[in-house]
Structure 1
Amino acid sequence: MDRTPLPFRPPLPRRLLRLAAGQAVPLLALAVCAAGLLGFALLADMLEDGEHRFDEALMLALRQPGDAAQPIGPPWLALAMRDLTALGGIPVLGLLSLVALGYLLLARQGRAALLLLVSLPGGLLLNTLLKQGFDRPRPALVAHLVDVQTLSFPSGHAMLSAVGYLTLGALLAGAAAQRRQQGYIMGAAVLLVLLIGASRVYLGVHWPTDVLAGWCLGAAWAMGCWLVLQVSGWRRRDR
């Protein structure tokens, strides 16, 4: 009679926990994608219903009482906001993406390079189509502190900065050795995205809901692109 002990198998709940821990990053990305799409849908529904009280109250709170042309805070704050908002523009994001793309191609990181090639241009196209579809004008409630030409919803700076900096942050975090380094990189990327979006409201060129919608959709688009490429990589390794 064979008395060879059977291999130990941990209980099912423990195996499920280990499986979930091993897939924590993809699950988190999927959750961000789903939450972003839901948030955008809710904000778009508010826009269709004509809800503007939140937008108007917050924009007026960022202006001197009785003077909608003067923002709150010292003069240097408006200058700092102009500098911050430029970080979410196409020239800066495009230049950073090209520099990162060149490095990835030299390092023969084809899948990471493809992520950059898909995420930012695709996000720009999607944002342009949505602006035309919603056709929301820029706010006229307060004075604009920078020149703007396009439509308002969703914010291109908020959306594209979320796409660009979260994508670059995810690529840098993937190369980091320690979790605290990864957390620092992603935290810095998120903080930069938040500051850029906040600058658009402070400068009076976007309603707050424009920026919230841009954040939601930008995060969803960035994580969605990342998930698609990850899934394609897993399938390639399984063959």
Structure 2
Amino acid sequence: MNSQLKDMALKLVREVRKSPASLAPFVVAAIASAGLFAFLSIADEVDEGETERLDRAVLMFFRVPGNPDETIGPAWVREAAIEYTALGGIPVVCLLVLTVLGFLAVERRWGAALFVSIGILGGMALSSTLKIFYSRPRPDLVAQLDVIHTKSFPSGHATITTCVVLTLAVMLIRLTESRPGRAYIFAMAVLYALLIGATRVYLGVHWPSDVLAGWAIGTFWACLCWVLMTMLQRWQEKGSLFASPRD
């Protein structure tokens, strides 16, 4: 038994040395596991009320002392936050998904279309399911500066945006061999997700723990989809799921 494990370990090391990219699925799987663990930890803390003090302190930090209906900073900051947060809303995300899926259909890249569908639409379904399950009320500590119709935990904007940007980032990264280019794409994806999540707290429509949980579960789902699609791709006997018939 020990010899078999040793042989498997040596085989894995040789494979990684031959192709460092072969280690990527293990790294992404580890990130997915960390995201799921972080979400469950936050959910447990929220359920026990351990995050209430910090949640309230962060919300009040973004409001004028003595006036919880007024955000800190000039008026244009609040206007910008309202416009930025709309980029993570369901109408904009649906339009973006339909646009991307339409392009992939025209290019007959069915594997990539499947990846986008599962990664983004599946993330939206996961977010809605978790909201119903936890049924956490929205913050009532400050004035809410955006129209809301759903429960609070986890943040749908943070969850869905994370799924969207990571899924699309993976597709874009596959188009370039440049390491600086890949790093730029990944950095901008992370920045986009962070910005959308931060606006939810700034506008008073989410507790900070809602947004943290959204980022965590969104990362888990996007990474899980990437790992599963990579495994499926490697099982294909011919070509790549992401390749078009003309490749």
TM-score > 0.5 by shorter chain: yes
Q: Distance in 2 between matches of 1:21 and 1:177?
A: 14
Per the TM alignment, residue 104 of structure 1 is displaced from its structure 2 partner at its CA by 1.5
Structure 1's unaligned 5+ residue stretches are 1-10
Aligned residues of 2:15 and 2:22 also touching (Cα < 8 A): no
Partner in structure 1 of residue 7 of structure 2: none
Partner in structure 2 of residue 8 of structure 1: none
Per the TM alignment, residue 22 of structure 1 is displaced from its structure 2 partner at its CA by 2.6
Judge which range, 196-205 or 118-127, deviates more: 118-127
2:34 is aligned with 1:42: no
Aligned residues of 2:55 and 2:207 also touching (Cα < 8 A): yes
Larger radius of gyration: 1
Partner in structure 2 of residue 138 of structure 1: 138
Q: Which amino acid aligns with 1:169?
A: A
Partner in structure 1 of residue 77 of structure 2: 77
SS at match of 1:69: strand
Per the TM alignment, residue 92 of structure 1 is displaced from its structure 2 partner at its CA by 1.1
Listed one character per residue, the Cα deviations across residues 192-211 of structure 1 (whole Å, up to 9, x for unaligned) are 00000000000000000000
Partner in structure 2 of residue 111 of structure 1: 111
SS at match of 2:68: strand
Q: Which amino acid aligns with 1:105?
A: A
Aligned residues of 2:169 and 2:185 also touching (Cα < 8 A): yes
The normalised TM-score by structure 1 is 0.90
Q: How many residues align?
A: 229
Aligned residues of 2:166 and 2:222 also touching (Cα < 8 A): yes
Structure 2's unaligned 5+ residue stretches are 1-9, 240-247
Partner in structure 2 of residue 18 of structure 1: 17
Per the TM alignment, residue 238 of structure 1 is displaced from its structure 2 partner at its CA by 8.1
Q: Distance in 1 between matches of 2:91 and 2:12?
A: 50
Per the TM alignment, residue 156 of structure 1 is displaced from its structure 2 partner at its CA by 0.3
Q: Distance in 2 between matches of 1:17 and 1:25?
A: 10
Listed one character per residue, the Cα deviations across residues 167-206 of structure 1 (whole Å, up to 9, x for unaligned) are 0111111111311111111111110000000000000000
Q: Distance in 2 between matches of 1:104 and 1:13?
A: 34
Q: Distance in 2 between matches of 1:141 and 1:188?
A: 32
The normalised TM-score by structure 2 is 0.88
Q: Distance in 2 between matches of 1:118 and 1:13?
A: 29
Per the TM alignment, residue 17 of structure 1 is displaced from its structure 2 partner at its CA by 4.9
Q: How does 1:29-178 map to 2 (within 5 A)?
A: 29-51=28-50, 52-178=52-178
Identity value in percent: 42
Listed one character per residue, the Cα deviations across residues 71-127 of structure 1 (whole Å, up to 9, x for unaligned) are 111110000101110110111111111111112122222111101111222111111
Q: Distance in 1 between matches of 2:187 and 2:37?
A: 23
SS at match of 1:147: coil
